[in-house]
A and B are shown apart, each in its own frame.
Chain A
């Protein structure tokens, strides 16, 4: 019983980190309708910014974290400006954006391979990992609770931003129809920059927690595949869907690792994806797919 509760907390914690990544990815998808494969790159940028400011600048975790989030946010905006905007302005073929994003992912990954090397790096112990007892039922790591809590805070902030602010309203309008939003006087380029900033920002939060949980290395971004899977399970382009999908995925992964075998966890993830696509391809909260012909 204690193991079960412990694995559920682990799963929720991992799932909440996936949710941070999946929400940013889903947000970009909902506006531009393409899978941004460079999203994993933003996560790695966040991780290395955090590592660099902790090690080289000797900053505290709050400063380092803030630097990492803002740095990754601007890196995401820069990526959009350099690689996606020229394509966006010329054509509306999302395939080109998709391929450019794959290229950007390879570029970002290999910039880090060349600059800092492919070595696995451990972040300094900035986030406590001491064991904590949860209501006397089970023991878990403080890190799991902190990552769960931070995810809730950031996702709540995103929800407030989207529902209460003018730009949030504009983003929701653009998710419905980007062109019409532009015609109604929304500055589309600024809006897309804001969306990418938010996506990079949230990916960096995920990146920091992932590099504490595992280690930091240039290929860490590959883990975003799981966030993509979570976004599809929840329904592409749906933010609540991305969160629920991520939690399901995190739980499934940790329960498999705890009770069956840790080798099977990735297999379970991809089986979940295939089953979702077979049974309900639009995902749990997908928009009704009117484009189905």
Chain B
């Protein structure tokens, strides 16, 4: 396998992990985030600092990066997720920008806007594939668990689900924390893949992209989110020659999908049921 192909596969896995996290939050719990790149940044910087300056092994460092993202998500989520509406979306913009600014200005720890070089290239294909598989198995089980159904209930009708006895605020915060963990791990793996990170890599455009791939794939479909992120990652590679128009096309695609097919590529169905559906229809 050539280095380029391997690089793309690693990137696909990393983006897939982040997409699964955002999918749980946006697609399954119905909370919109515009700052998930901040959790990636937290994961990436924690892991980079731990491995480079404190010589911690990369595996606990990655997990600690994810856990720091979880802690931050908890403190942001508890006050804002009690409220319905766009409060978390706005708070997440603030969070995303604030974390990026702290990373840029805290020179002594993060080396500022010039970036953090010299991270061990611990993200090899087997490592990233293992992370992806473990996290994917966990996520696909989670969305069909009691917790996953609680998330969907909160998304579809939060009043009814709270009357049914779900602690909606708690479900929403938990969902945010899990998604922050996935993004933190994805960020940590991205740092190991590029061996260089910079605060500007985790700006609002990245956050938008994280949410956009989930919408593109289909809200409420985990396999759709993975498909969406794969398509967008590959299209980004294809459109490199006409990079000037890339963002225009990307924005227009977002609008067109929302107008024509707001449910995304897969709707809210999973890949398995989508394959089986035609046969089922014939049988009935």
Query: Which of A35, A274, A281, A293 is B95 in contact with, Cβ under 8 Å?
Result: A274
Q: Let me know if B85 is at the binding interface, CB within 8 A.
A: yes
B201 interface hit (Cβ, 8 Å): no
Whole-angstrom distance between the Cβ of A79 and the nearest chain B Cβ: 9
Q: How far is B78's CA from A278's CA once the two chains are assembled, in angstroms?
A: 9
B119 to chain A, nearest CB (A): 26
Q: Are B208 and A102 in contact (CB under 8 A)?
A: yes
Interface centre among B85, B169, B204 (most CB of A within 10 A): B85
Q: Is the CB of A111 within 8 A of B248?
A: yes
Could you say which of A164-172, A177-185, A263-271 contacts chain B? A263-271
**Which chain A residue shows the least CB distance to B27?**
A95
Report the stretch among B55-63, B86-94, B175-183 that lies at the interface.
Answer: B86-94
Contacts of A225 in B (CB 8 A): 93, 97, 204
Given contacts A90-B262, A107-B252, A107-B255, contact A273 B90 (CB under 8 A): yes
Main SS of chain B's interface residues? helix
Residue B283 CB within 8 A of the other chain: no
Query: Is the CB–CB distance between B262 and A93 below 8 Å?
Result: yes
Chain A residues with CB under 8 A of B79: 277-278, 281
- Encoded as 1 (CB less than 8 Å from any A CB) or 0, chain B from 30 to 73 comes to 10101000000000000000000000000000000000000000
Give Cα distance in the complex from A86 to B84, angstroms: 24
A113 within 8 A of B: yes
> Nearest chain-B residue to A261 (Cβ)?
B105
**Contact mask for chain A residues 267-287; partner B; CB cutoff 8 A; 1 contact, 0 none:** 100110110011001100000
Q: Flag A185-212 by CB within 8 Å of B: 1 or 0 each.
A: 0000000000000000000000000000
A51-59, A127-135, A136-144, A228-236: which lies at the B interface?
A228-236
Report the minimal beta-carbon distance from A83 to chain B, rounded to whole angstroms. Answer: 5
A100 touches B105 (CB 8 A): no
Chain A residues contacting B196 (CB-CB under 8 Å) are none
Q: Which of B15-23, B135-143, B211-219, B222-230 contacts A (4 or more CB under 8 A)?
A: B211-219
Chain B residues, CB < 8 A from A98: 32, 86, 89
**What's the nearest-Cβ distance from chain A to residue B109, in Å?**
15
5 smallest beta-carbon distances between A and B, as pairs: A106-B251, A103-B254, A270-B98, A103-B255, A107-B251
